[in-house]
Amino acid sequence: MAYEAKNFEHLLGTKGLSDQLLKNHFTLYQGYVTNTNKLADTLNAMLKEGKAGTPEYSELKRRFGWEWNGMRLHEYYFGNMTKGGKPIDKNTNMYKKIVEDFGSYEDWEKDFRGVGSMRGIGWVVLYYDMIEGRLFNTWINEHDVGHLCGASPILIMDVFEHAFMIDYGVKKAGYIDAFFNAIDWTIDPELDKMLFE
Binding-site residues, please?
Answer: 25, 74, 158, 162
**Please, how many CA atoms are within 13 Å of residue 184, restricted to the half-sphere of its CB?**
14
User: Which of helix, strand or coil describes residue 64?
Assistant: helix
Count CB atoms within 10 A of the CB of residue 153.
19
Cβ neighbourhood burial of 48 (10 Å; 0-12, 13-18, 19+): exposed
CB 184 within 8 A of CB 89: no
CA separation for the pair 16, 67 (Å, rounded): 28
| CA 35 centroid distance within chain | 18
Residues that constitute the known binding site for Mn(2+): 25, 74, 158, 162
Residues in the chain: 197
